[in-house]
Structure 1
Amino acid sequence: MKPTRIACAAALLCLSGALSAQTGADAPAKQQLQKVTITGSSIKRLADEKSMPIEVITATQIRQLGLTSVDQIVDNLTANAGSINQVTNNAVFGGDGEKTFGGANFANLRGLGPTGTLVLLNGRRVSTHGMSGGAVDLNTIPMDAIERVETLKDGASAIYGTDAIAGVINFITKTSYQGASLSGSFFMPEALGGGQTARLSGSVGWGNLATDRFNVMATLTVDNNHILRGTERPWATGYQPDRLLTPDTSSAIHANIINQANTALTSAGTTVGTGDATRYTNLNLLAIQGQCEAIPNQIPLAPNIQIWDLFGYTQANSRYRCARDYGRNYMLKSPQESVNGLMRGTFKINDAHQASVEVMASTVKNRGEYSPIQISAGNTTATVNGVTATSNTLLQTTSPYYLNMRALVNAAQFDPTKPIAYRVNFLNDLGLRIRENETDNLRVQTALDGTIWGLDYSVGAGYGESKSSATLINGFPNTKKLVDLLASGKYNPFIMPGKTQTADVQQAFEDMQMRGKIYDGKTSVKTVDATISGPLGNWLAGPLEFALGASARQETYEFSGATGFMCVDSITATTLATYDNKTLTYGCPGNTSSPSLSRKIGAVFGELVARPIKDLEVTLQARYDKYQVIGGTTNPKIGLKYQPLDTLLVRASASTGFRAPTPQQVRQGVVESQLTGQFRDPVLCADQANPTDPTQCARLSLPYRAGGNPALEPETSRQASAGLVFAPNANFQAYADYWQVTLSDRIRQLSTTEMISNYDVYKDNFVRDPATNVVQYLQAGWVNSAGSKTKGVDFGANYQFDALQGRMTASLTGTRMLSNKEQTRDNAPFIEYVGKWSNTTLYVPLKLNLSLGYRTDLWNVTLSGNYRDGYEDQNRGPTAAGGANYTTAQPYTRRVSSYSTFNLVGSYTGIKGLTLTGSLINIGDIQPPFTWHNVDSAAGTGWDPRVADPRGRTVGISARWTME
């Protein structure tokens, strides 16, 4: 560990007083022990047994830490590597599969992806997200019904199923409640703008299980989260050239004149003015005048020459070209409205048997705002099946908006007798692309629990479904109407600062807006399960306990694909001649359909706990799963717990896992999209001064394909862990666990940025024309990489003591990622990702959470802190070598600073039945650390939403009224 990290860790330890705790920060010093079912085992055991690395956070802790949503709870886990939420799942710049995420939030334990973490509700499965079909959307969990969250940070495939490779997060709700309560909260960032969140919730319950033999309870929560835009935070900008960050885009609001055959600016370019022999292949009047930034959100492109030379930016094509800071309009927090409800009835049949039925329903609606569309004007004619169409969007010489650049700026080779080809962004004309996502969830779970013949049993049957849909709200034009408007010459692509389009042109843009539901999806899961457990008598040094179980489930997935809209990413005559022009829509997420798919999974599992010698407990688990079509797999697990001293416990485990690809990963149709920036072919333009094919040095709109991959194979894994728990007295406990996970055939999604930046590794994914060797398209999407090796250490402790006439609790949890190495293909070297920027999962080397709490009969005050280690920024390899376009070599890597924030939450209960809480989140108003990646590379521009909270200092108030 580097000295700075050691110093930071030491400071946090001084504040907390100890390493972190696995139990609750508000746990009493003395606790009555009772047998309960612990996450990771089917055998009821004492609540304080520590045979497995389980982290528990209670509802009281959640409130005192200032956590206001389920995804914040999961992000707060140090074992969760990088947030996966509405912002990080940007549906325009992400891969095609990500466009079906529909504003969902996912867990990501160990950085093994959402599908590697099993999310349970009260120990049983929840239906996966209705469009992605891959993992449980955390938005569906009823926040105010949560009693505690148990996170098993260990492979659990032997108990819960093959998809628990990284671990299990089990949300446990209140199982009985009497009385009524009503609560409300409001959080508002101190800085002006959006980001406010509001919640209103209520609970009611009646019936005492002991006396009335029943309990019926219900909770209802309504949330409203306001959007936070990049324009509302000064640091959220993609144009910081002094820090080597500018947008990778070639379009502007005041259009760039581009070189094209048979137009005013030919491929040879033109000189501008006198005394400069450079032939410029892009012209922009504002850029020549040094006035690009006179139009909001527009910036000069020239700094890209030094920064993005990998993508073909040169003096000739960049000096006199404007660009748009599309990162400035990037969504920092998604707007969301949700309603979650839970009803539960528990009925005591007799002293030995108890039945329950639980119904959970939710509606989640959120919006995503994405970059506006852009085009390159051209002239093409095509005939398809007897239909002839022309797409001539060049600006003709007869248009009143034609710019004679020869006369205006002495562009000597500019031919004013020919039309102008241009590249323009429609931010001011069509606005941002906006898509609304809505997900409706339903879960019905019945259970019968009890004791028979001295054995504990549980039988359950459940049904869950998730229905999701996406609706186009704004910014998606009808392609034919757009072509007709541009061809008319009425549109002014060279809009000057402070000017607007004419009224009839503005109305034409409104009339071409394509709105309505574009696609929907549905997942469902039907489950039945049964377990029986109990003692088998004594064997050797202690009791022998067992559990046997069986389960069966049927999973379904279907996705409509784009319906009512024919989505295209390019405007050509072939497109116009091929498709129905009434549905032809430019720039929408055109995912193809996935047929209705159903698969059945059956399983049997067993567990045995033995004590062969004094103080040693051995747990053996095994599970056999049979997947329809894919086949069967057996996954064993062994766990050891050895307690040589009353104050010391040693634990270890080893297991295997198996994860089948999701239906979406296999069956999603292949869609072709286009890059937003430009591309320099590393083969045909390896030497920009003497290229093999000059047309491939700054190519626009390179196609790429992504989607499902029917050839995907299942992942297999091996997990192991070993650790210590030290508890010298009832008030102090510390632990440390080493863990490692090895995956083979790991399923991952290739991005275009990753492939372009590592051409030698992914050159086979560049599909070339056999005759010309020109890249036809990039093959992105889901693949089986060779494998990965991940390892790290979890640690923590808890210390409680009496002071100041109250109870003090100090705690800290932490995860130190030691390594995450991945292979891209067989026989390739393993690449280390811990501490290095990645456009997928970000493996921060060290994550720490701390808290210092003080509680009396009337007050409960908690100071908490979060530390996220720094890491190496995006690799600028070609730039580091001093590309062909500049003279001074720049460092290709830099270090992103660490990120530390502190929160203060205080509650007062001095008024009967009323709890008042005030929160101050991010006391120091710490802004996210700067990173020089932009939104084409990963979510965020100049910051990383996988690490930081963009709200800044935030004030919260809440009140809870309870009537017993």
Structure 2
Amino acid sequence: MKPTRIACATALLCLSGAVTAQTGADAPSEQQKLQKVTITGSSIKRLADEKAMPIEVMTAAQIRELGVSSADQLADLLSANVAGNTNQVTNNAVFGTDADKTLGGANFANLRGLGPTGTLVLLNGRRVSTHGMSGGSVDLNAIPMDAIERVEVLKDGASAVYGTDAVGGVMNFITRSDYQGLSLRGSYSTPQADGGGQTRRISASGGVGSLARDGYNLMATVTFDNNEILRGTDRPWATGYQPDQYLTPDSTSAVHANMIAGSSSTTSAVYNTAIPAAGTMVGTSGDTTRYTNLNLLAIQGRCQDIPNQVPLAPNVQIWDLFGYTKANSQYRCTRDYGRNYMLRSPQEATNALVKGTFNINDKHQASLELITSDVTNRGEYSPLQVSSGNTTATVNGVTTVSNTHLQTSSPHYLNMRTLVGATQFDPTKPIAYRVNFLNDLGFRIRENNTKNLRAQASLEGTIGRFDYSVSAGYGESKSSATLISGFANTRKLVNLLASGKYNPFIMPGQTQSAEVVAAFEDMQMRGKIYDGKTSVKQFDATLSGSLGKFMAGDILFATGVNARQETYEFSGSQNFLCVDSITAATLATYDNTALTFGCPGNTSSPTLSRDITAVFGELVVQPLKSLEVTLQVRHDQYQQIGGTTNPKVGIKFTPFDSLLLRASANTGFRAPTAQQVRQGVVVSAMTGQFRDPVLCADVNNPQDATQCARLSTPYATGGNPDLKPETSKQFSVGMVFAPIKDFQAYADYWQVELDDRIRALSITEMVSNYELFKDNFVRDPATGVVRYIQAGWVNAAGSKTKGLDFGIKHQMTALGGKISSSLGGTKMISHKERALETAPMREYVGMWSNTTLYLPWRLNASVSYRTGPWAMTLSGLYRDSYEDQNRGPTAQGGANYTSAQPYTRTVKSYSTFNLVGSYSGLKNVTLSGSIINLADRQPSFTWHNVDSASGAGWDPRVADPRGRTFMLSASWKL
């Protein structure tokens, strides 16, 4: 990061401060500070103001002051949370790996960029059932934010305390426990720009009984949320067609279909068609190019006369690595699918909590907690597209041939010889074409629903001079996916195309006949496609206290046991046989009433149950008054996987009152999820074109010209039963400096080394790095043609990550009130990773990736002013620039790239400010108003399209697409 950028960022954010600043009435009293509590990352009850570990604490009031209303927004705000495919937009794909298809609608945390499965999410210090379909991580939608009292984020490994998942860190959501009274709260937000993106929330909370006075407390909260969809058409910058910046869609289909050249192979689906294999010249201008693809609107320069349709490759030189040339691209239209991409998901959610806490006597307390949520959201995806062909099938013993090429007898036949002077066009032969069904079937829309339930009973207190805690609980998550529209019955689609009634060459302003419109409606496949369920049964018991004086202080200890049973089951596709391509073998083999084109097919995963038992211990000693040493160790025994022991040592050294030094070293362990191990294998098809780096190494002199722009190349994904657990080694060292009252600065250096890291190999990554993954390209022994590409889960050898967390917070009395400000951030020093054991380590910090973006700098800040009933907070965030997607020869496998266009570019940094104000001068009423994205900053441009990662021309892993947004809320409390 350049010094000028640091200066700008500091000036930008010094107005505000780290999210952890405690303001006004939210600051804990001295009595609260001296209360013994269990701190996240430890099993010992002790004073709440300990700073032996790097923990970030945010109260509910502070979270609201930052304009945050959901757990996923809170995770994005954390500088330690790295941008990845972890939110509803980035992971909600209809195509891609099995993991993508089962994550629809979920939001996850991603501390340190080690993946959602490397971040442990707790509720009141105990585990929550993972997402019902993915089975890997806790869906943040399940967290009842209006019932949360505070959030503690441990930015250090904690496998020695909590076991698996706690490699990147821990997010512990802690609910209110002694609430009294009745409160109602409502909020509404809307972007300033036209379109969707509005949100609504209504919540109610009530509680009776005081633990101190009455010996009991009963409380309940319920929240209703409604979020409207925001589409790419609502934002002018959300488009995949920006040729002036070298971004155009990589798709070969259009609403007005593209005509395809025939093949010289008699077995090809496009053999013996109107455009010969060698192509045809067009017009009389002297152009001798033999064009292999034709589109009447493209030749007339009218692609964009049909909404969302654009020229294919006006900058063909930037696409030549994908096999695009003047001959196959100049006279083709395509669809700007990035324009129609979903920017924010529509969602309806209900969260509820009921909690009872009872003092058995002055030494023992019991509690029972019940939490439930119901979240429904929708995803919109690219419409279906298909190439015509000769389809021969045997169904019920009868052989049929369905020729979906447009026949010369069709009233929709376009004679390109007479229309545009296509010299070699043969009007006596049928036309092969590739069409997109945007106007016929619409978007593919899938609805996701997740229901969560959690019941937890606890008993805690003191026996003699020891503290104890015993707890038992059950949690489950049930998820389902339902096809709403846009998915076609394969046989009915083929029959319609073969009938000649469908017009693939629809002109601007034209519509299909009523009969064709009815046929498309009749072929819609709707209904629940699959569901999944996870559950966790858990029991834990802890005993802690003092073993007496030793050297300079008490020896504190904790010991305990933990046992849990985790289950996972996934139905796979029900009532739908999903296919990505239409072949004779497909039509002949499968039941045509269920055969569905373009749906997200997943194979079932058998019901898997595994038991985990653990014993753990913790010891804190003080060799000197200024020195504290913490020793932790935990042994976990995993059914079917084996045992693991993970120790941790922490040191806190206070040479004088104003300075605290801390350090820790530990090991970690993460077992593969059931989905990663047991998911069945499913075959999908690539979107866009595939240029074979062997058979078409030189696009001008290929070994096999049919492999230069291949469509719908199949690839296989699924579970890997040979996966091994991930293991980690971690280290951190830091300081807290507080030279004066109400001022504190901290800094922590940390590093994490992971071995046998589990990751899903993406098709884009494998094609872009062919030499590394060439063994995964399964070829036909006779022809050398790629039969399919083996993708999916692997142990990816390892990664090394290191960085620096830092922050400053300050409080003072000025201007007739109290001002609290701070600045916090993370400097990612390095993240090196290799995809295979034989591959070299590759640096990812500041580099584009289709999965996780390791930005060099992430800064968050806020400044709050409170006087009487008035309060105001200005907060800001800064996300650093990074190198955009590599479009050069190394990335795409080209050997002789000579284009004058750049391979890479820099994506500009992104920063926004939020302003939140409130007034509580009315009896029992508080009014609040917010302006999110005060300067109306639009996302930084990136030239990647949705084929590589979510977003077209922008990146939802970094930016908020809403623009300037206004929010009003009112609360009433009795």
Q: What is the TM-score with the length of structure 2 in the denominator?
A: 0.97
Task: Give deviations 1:881-912, integer Å, cap 9, x for gaps.
Answer: 99799864211110000001001000100001
Matching residue's letter, 1:621: Q
Structure 1 residue 47 displacement after superposition? 1.1
Structure 1 residue 307 displacement after superposition? 2.2
Structure 1 residue 879 displacement after superposition? 8.8
Structure 1 residue 815 displacement after superposition? 0.5
| Structure 1 residues 590 and 93: CA distance shift in structure 2, 3 A | closer
Residue among 14, 18, 22 paired with 1:24: 22
Map of 2:67 onto structure 1: 66
Matching residue's letter, 1:536: L
Matching residue's letter, 1:210: A
Task: Give deviations 1:739-796, integer Å, cap 9, x for gaps.
Answer: 0000001111111111111111111111111111111111111111110000000000
Matching residue's letter, 1:31: E
| Structure 1 residues 668 and 271: CA distance shift in structure 2, 3 A | same
Matching residue's letter, 1:190: Q
Return the alpha-carbon distance in structure 2 between the equivalents of residues 926 and 933 of structure 1. Answer: 20
Matching residue's letter, 1:69: S
User: 2:489 touches 2:524 (CA, 8 Å); kept in 1?
Assistant: yes
Question: Residue 288 in 1 paired to residue 299 in 2?
Answer: yes
1:915-930 equivalences in 2 (<5 Å): 915-930=926-941
Q: Which moved more, 1:102-111 or 1:703-712?
A: 703-712
**Identity value in percent:** 73
Question: Residue 959 in 1 paired to residue 959 in 2?
Answer: no
Return the alpha-carbon distance in structure 2 between the equivalents of residues 109 and 309 of structure 1. Answer: 38
Q: Secondary structure at the match of 1:729?
A: coil
| Structure 1 residues 599 and 884: CA distance shift in structure 2, 3 A | closer
Task: Give deviations 1:269-299, integer Å, cap 9, x for gaps.
Answer: 1111121111111000001111111100000
| Structure 1 residues 325 and 735: CA distance shift in structure 2, 3 A | same
Q: Secondary structure at the match of 1:15?
A: coil
| Structure 1 residues 528 and 480: CA distance shift in structure 2, 3 A | same
Task: Give deviations 1:386-410, integer Å, cap 9, x for gaps.
Answer: 5634342111111100111111111
Map of 1:184 onto structure 2: 186
Map of 1:264 onto structure 2: 274
1:13-52 equivalences in 2 (<5 Å): 14-16=14-16, 20=18, 22=20, 24-26=22-24, 27-28=26-27, 31-32=30-31, 33=33, 34-52=35-53
1:778-797 equivalences in 2 (<5 Å): 778-797=789-808
Structure 1 residue 219 displacement after superposition? 0.1
| Structure 1 residues 391 and 626: CA distance shift in structure 2, 3 A | farther
Map of 1:627 onto structure 2: 638
Structure 1 residue 191 displacement after superposition? 0.2
Task: Give deviations 1:217-239, integer Å, cap 9, x for gaps.
Answer: 00000000000000000000000
Q: Secondary structure at the match of 2:592?
A: coil
Structure 1 residue 712 displacement after superposition? 1.1
Matching residue's letter, 1:863: L
Question: Residue 2 in 1 paired to residue 2 in 2?
Answer: yes
Map of 1:249 onto structure 2: 251
Question: Residue 461 in 1 paired to residue 461 in 2?
Answer: no
Map of 1:441 onto structure 2: 452
Question: Residue 336 in 1 paired to residue 347 in 2?
Answer: yes
| Structure 1 residues 644 and 181: CA distance shift in structure 2, 3 A | same
Task: Give deviations 1:848-872, integer Å, cap 9, x for gaps.
Answer: 1110100122011000001000100
Map of 2:201 onto structure 1: 199
User: 1:21 touches 1:796 (CA, 8 Å); kept in 2?
Assistant: no
Q: Which moved more, 1:363-372 or 1:566-575?
A: 566-575
1:417-566 equivalences in 2 (<5 Å): 417-566=428-577
Map of 1:756 onto structure 2: 767
Map of 1:380 onto structure 2: 391
Matching residue's letter, 2:55: I
Map of 1:396 onto structure 2: 407
RMSD of the TM alignment (CA)?
1.5
Matching residue's letter, 2:46: R
Aligned residues: 961
Residue among 103, 126, 129 paired with 1:127: 129
Return the alpha-carbon distance in structure 2 between the equivalents of residues 21 and 269 of structure 1. Answer: 63
Structure 1 residue 25 displacement after superposition? 4.5
Residue among 682, 688, 696 paired with 2:707: 696
Matching residue's letter, 1:265: I
1:934-949 equivalences in 2 (<5 Å): 934-949=945-960
| Structure 1 residues 883 and 289: CA distance shift in structure 2, 3 A | farther
Task: Give deviations 1:348-400, integer Å, cap 9, x for gaps.
Answer: 10000000000000100000000000000000314489563434211111110
Map of 2:580 onto structure 1: 569
Return the alpha-carbon distance in structure 1 between the equivalents of residues 29 and 6 of structure 2. Answer: 34
User: 1:850 touches 1:864 (CA, 8 Å); kept in 2?
Assistant: yes
Return the alpha-carbon distance in structure 2 between the equivalents of residues 25 and 699 of structure 1. Answer: 61
Q: Secondary structure at the match of 1:485?
A: helix
Map of 1:85 onto structure 2: 87
Task: Give deviations 1:575-599, integer Å, cap 9, x for gaps.
Answer: 1111110001000000110000000
Question: Residue 820 in 1 paired to residue 831 in 2?
Answer: yes
Return the alpha-carbon distance in structure 2 between the equivalents of residues 31 and 288 of structure 1. Answer: 78
Return the alpha-carbon distance in structure 1 between the equivalents of residues 540 and 190 of structure 2. Answer: 45
Residue among 239, 242, 266 paired with 1:237: 239
| Structure 1 residues 303 and 730: CA distance shift in structure 2, 3 A | same
Q: Which moved more, 1:269-278 or 1:19-28?
A: 19-28
Residue among 211, 220, 243 paired with 2:213: 211
Return the alpha-carbon distance in structure 2 between the equivalents of residues 174 and 911 of structure 1. Answer: 25
Task: Give deviations 1:725-745, integer Å, cap 9, x for gaps.
Answer: 001123001100000000001
Q: Where do 5+ consecutive residues of structure 2 fail to align?
A: 263-270
| Structure 1 residues 704 and 389: CA distance shift in structure 2, 3 A | farther
Return the alpha-carbon distance in structure 2 between the equivalents of residues 270 and 12 of structure 1. Answer: 59
Q: Secondary structure at the match of 2:283?
A: coil
Structure 1 residue 308 displacement after superposition? 2.2
User: 1:882 touches 1:889 (CA, 8 Å); kept in 2?
Assistant: no
Q: What is the TM-score with the length of structure 1 in the denominator?
A: 0.98
User: 1:29 touches 1:800 (CA, 8 Å); kept in 2?
Assistant: no
Structure 1 residue 677 displacement after superposition? 0.6
Return the alpha-carbon distance in structure 2 between the equivalents of residues 318 and 885 of structure 1. Answer: 20
| Structure 1 residues 102 and 866: CA distance shift in structure 2, 3 A | same
Matching residue's letter, 1:853: S
Structure 1 residue 28 displacement after superposition? 3.3
Residue among 679, 692, 695 paired with 1:668: 679
Structure 1 residue 266 displacement after superposition? 2.2
| Structure 1 residues 739 and 886: CA distance shift in structure 2, 3 A | closer
Q: Which moved more, 1:372-381 or 1:386-395?
A: 386-395
Matching residue's letter, 1:74: A
Task: Give deviations 1:598-650, integer Å, cap 9, x for gaps.
Answer: 00000000000000123000000000000000000000000000000100000
Structure 1 residue 938 displacement after superposition? 0.2
Structure 1 residue 3 displacement after superposition? 2.0
Map of 2:268 onto structure 1: none
Return the alpha-carbon distance in structure 1 between the equivalents of residues 168 and 211 of structure 2. Answer: 37
User: 1:834 touches 1:845 (CA, 8 Å); kept in 2?
Assistant: yes
Question: Residue 579 in 1 paired to residue 580 in 2?
Answer: no
Matching residue's letter, 1:743: L
User: 2:13 touches 2:860 (CA, 8 Å); kept in 1?
Assistant: no
Residue among 90, 105, 109 paired with 1:103: 105
Question: Residue 173 in 1 paired to residue 183 in 2?
Answer: no
Structure 1 residue 243 displacement after superposition? 0.4
Matching residue's letter, 1:92: V
User: 2:889 touches 2:897 (CA, 8 Å); kept in 1?
Assistant: no
Map of 2:138 onto structure 1: 136
Task: Give deviations 1:159-201, integer Å, cap 9, x for gaps.
Answer: 0112100010000010121110000000100000000000000
Return the alpha-carbon distance in structure 2 between the equivalents of residues 98 and 118 of structure 1. Answer: 20
Q: Which moved more, 1:46-55 or 1:877-886?
A: 877-886
Structure 1 residue 709 displacement after superposition? 1.2
User: 1:880 touches 1:889 (CA, 8 Å); kept in 2?
Assistant: no
Q: Secondary structure at the match of 2:406?
A: coil
Q: Secondary structure at the match of 2:543?
A: strand
| Structure 1 residues 71 and 881: CA distance shift in structure 2, 3 A | closer
